[in-house]
Amino acid sequence: MDPIDLYRTFRRALRACQLYPQGSRVRQDASERLAERFRAALEERGEGISFAFLEDGTYVNGQPVPVGEGDDTAGLGEQLFRLGIREFRFLPGLEATEVLRLLGVLTRARLGELNPVDEDLSILLWESDLGHVGYLLYEEHEEFEEEVTQEQIEVEEMISKEPPIGDYLEDDEVEMPDYPVGAPTGLTEAERLRVLADFQRETEEDIPHKYGRVLVEILRVETDQKEVPRLERHLHEYLEALMASERFAILQRLSNSLELEGDEIDPVRHAFGRARDWFLQSELYTRAARLAQGHPTDQEAADAFLVRVPEEVVPDLASLLLDERAEVAPQVFDRIRARIRESADVLGLCLADPRTEVRKLALEEAGVFDRTATRRVRELLTSPDPELRLRAAGALARSEGPDALEGLAEALEDPEVSVRIAAAEALAHRGANRCLELLLRIIVGKDFVRKGLDEKKVFFHAAGRIAPEEVLPVLARLAEQRRFWPSRDRAERSEAALDAMSRLGADARTFVEDRWRRRRPDLMKRFDQFYRHHAGRMADSGNQPANRGLDSALQTASSDAGALQPAGVASPRPVPVAGMPQPAPMTERTEPSLGAPESTHSNTPQADTPGSLDSGETIAEVDTSLDDVFAPLGASQPEAQNDDHDTEHGSSESQREVA
């Protein structure tokens, strides 16, 4: 390889580092090309390649480098000679990273960026860890003769008459004479720090911003269409370098300078549009969210970027925030949650994201729905992930429209128990007549008997929340069947009915007192047990009960149950129903089974016992299916298909008690 051509490659690489900022791809490419040329040349020359810079010229391996017309080869050699560099020797094993570090130090030295206070070329080269680059430096000092004043002569004479230092170490009582001191010529510490701060601000903030503004303005005034792509590429490379070094303050200032003035050519307009689109990429905002340490101005600018996150970037940023390994400020997570709650468009983008964790976050924070978002939530009800289906059913409780109701109707038949329970509670939250119809369709279905006790409780309670005046008589009749039928199905239905009634508040208790005060004191006592249990849970959780008159009802519960017990009839003890398994808790709303009261064993028919059946009522009349029990309720709501009717306008026929 021609050594002269190798030196010119070195000169071009050094010039590229001078023109482009640190971290630029152009710098890296130039250093890699130079390293490849060195490696190829070192294969033929094991002792290394020498670049010598002398006063009379530049030499490569002892061969002078010719200077052509219009060539700045001589200028580079003279400049390196004035910097004190006499020789570079490149050895086998040279790496591209070493070349890049060497070029960086030389570029700073040529541009005069070395701080004269605490930076030196020899120290910087030594700190660069150049294992395969040898260098020879020479620092020439100018000889000068210091003018000695009479005052300095007198001080030196006085010092020469003083005893040696050992005498001072042995005798602490020796007094030091006051020597005349001349006026200080150096900077104070405050002035030195101020100079360094001004220099650092100039190099770290102003110069990089000015360079970026130069690139923007050159692109703005360009009239040659062929030059626009090259200038645009340089601008994007510089923006990428600023983002990689987390210089968000400069990026923010440059983003504000990308406004068109009106007289640009079309290619420039398109280039400015792509430059503005560059500030919409997700990587910029994810880097801003990760910025935990840095200059205060950069942290403030990064926070400003996160305040105006584009809608398209929210899913990517949400995925980053959900990563446990990412160190992100809590306020950033709160902003993203607020964006999902307040914007239906952002909610739709997160629901359409393929990442499961982003979808779950969107379902959890969903607040404002449009038709598109509702349709996407309904589509998630077919997901193979049970947790995703569970959250989708809960989110539909806050949505409106027929799509949400149809989705909840499908969720009522989901194979997962927790999803079916969430769908029932969502229908209770909506509270329309159509919701009651969907619940009753499941309750009177043939598969309802195979559902667990906890699920039956939820369905009965959900129906009671929608139309308490209409459903309470039906639930009371189901509870009254528990005394006569020891089968598991009837016992569970009775247990679920009592639990649902006890959670419907003080109005339900008033209804129960009027119905069971004389007829069924055993059910009255069992109802009070459930009532106390749910009231205690509400008190433990710190929530105020929504039931009116709850405190007074609790105070009179025990006395009412004792007073209503007829003489000669033993109080029933709550024991588990034979053959009824204890259900495992499914959700947070699942209540443990408290058992059913034990029936009184007697050879006489139970109908003769006070507090059992009414006069003229037979067991056959009580032994009815759920279709028969809910038939009056279903027949009383022909307008159930219309969601606009409120449950308070139910027909009077459905409010009659079942005998």
The answer to whether residue 233 scores a pLDDT higher than 90 is yes
Q: Is the Cα torsion angle 127, 130, 133, 134 positive or negative in sign?
A: positive
pLDDT at 175 over 50: yes
Please, which pLDDT band fits residue 586 given cuts at 50, 70 and 90? very low
| Region 388-399 average pLDDT | 86
Q: Is 492 helix (H, G, I), strand (E, B) or coil?
A: helix
Most confident of 152-166, 383-397, 514-528, 627-641: 383-397
- pLDDT band with cut points at 50, 70 and 90 for residue 68: low
Long-range contacts for 203-210 (Cβ within 8 Å, ≥24 apart)? 203/113, 204/295, 205/249, 205/250, 205/297, 208/21, 208/242, 208/247, 208/250, 209/250, 209/253, 209/254
The string of pLDDT tens digits covering residues 195-228 is: 766 666 556 667 788 888 899 989 988 888 899 9
Higher pLDDT, 627 or 611: 627
The predicted structure's pLDDT at residue 515: 85
Residue 198: the pLDDT is: 64
Sort residue 68 into left (φ over 0), alpha (ψ -120 to 50) or beta. Answer: beta
The pLDDT tens digits of the residues spanning 335-358 come to 888 888 888 888 888 888 889 888
Mean pLDDT over residues 583-601, rounded? 34
Largest CA distance in the chain: 138
Contacts of residue 441, defined as CB under 8 A and 6 or more positions apart, other chains included, come to none
Task: Report the C-alpha gap between 490 and 482 in whole angstroms.
Answer: 6
Angle between helices 3-19 and 25-42 (to 10 degrees): 160
Greater pLDDT, 519 or 273: 273
Joined together, the tokens standing for residue 643 give 């969601």
Q: How does residue 576 score in pLDDT terms, banded at 50, 70 and 90? A: very low
Greater confidence, 196 or 54?
54
Band (584; pLDDT cuts 50, 70, 90): very low
> Where does the pLDDT of residue 506 fall: very low under 50, low under 70, confident under 90, or very high at 90 and above?
confident
DSSP readout, 71-103? --HHHHHHHHHHTTEEEEEE-TT--HHHHHHHH
Query: At residue 545, does pLDDT exceed 90?
Result: no
Domain ranges of the chain: 3-137, 203-308, 431-655
Predicted pLDDT at 266: 87
Q: Which two tokens stand for residue 252?
A: 């923010």
What percentage of the chain reaches a pLDDT higher than 90? 5
Q: Is the pLDDT of residue 274 over 90?
A: yes
Q: What is the mean pLDDT of the chain?
A: 73
For residues 167 and 174, is the Cβ–Cβ distance under 8 A? yes
User: How many whole angstroms separate alpha carbon 471 and alpha carbon 114?
Assistant: 86
Structure-model confidence comparison of residues 201 and 159, the more confident one: 159
The larger pLDDT score, comparing residue 651 to residue 413, is at 413
> Percent of the chain scored above 70 by pLDDT?
71
The pLDDT value recorded for residue 302 is 86
The tokens for 634 are 């279903």
Q: What is the mean pLDDT of residues 576-600?
A: 34
What pLDDT score was predicted for residue 278?
A: 92
**Lowest-confidence pick of 139-143, 435-439, 572-576:** 572-576
- What would the two tokens of residue 170 be? 């042995």
Contact between residue 409 and residue 438 where contact means Cβ atoms under 8 Å apart: yes
Q: How far apart are CA 468 and CA 417, in angstroms?
A: 25
Residue 221: Cβ within 10 Å count: 11
Task: Give the contacts of 159 (CB within 8 A, at least 6 positions apart).
Answer: 179
Q: Give the residue with greater pLDDT, 329 vs 277.
A: 277
Instruction: Please give the structure tokens belonging to residue 388.
Output: 């995703």
The arithmetic mean of pLDDT across residues 247-267, rounded, is 85
Q: Residue 648 pLDDT > 50, yes or no?
A: no
Over residues 51-59, mean pLDDT: 88
* From 13-17, 137-141, 589-593, 629-633, the region with the lowest mean pLDDT: 589-593
- State the pLDDT confidence band at 439, using cuts at 50, 70 and 90: confident
CA 596: distance to chain centroid?
A: 48
Contacts of 414 (CB under 8 A, 6+ apart): 381, 389, 393, 420, 423
More confident residue, 430 or 53: 53
Quote the DSSP letter at residue 369: -
Mean pLDDT value of segment 630-636:
48
Q: Does 602 or 466 have the greater pLDDT score?
A: 466
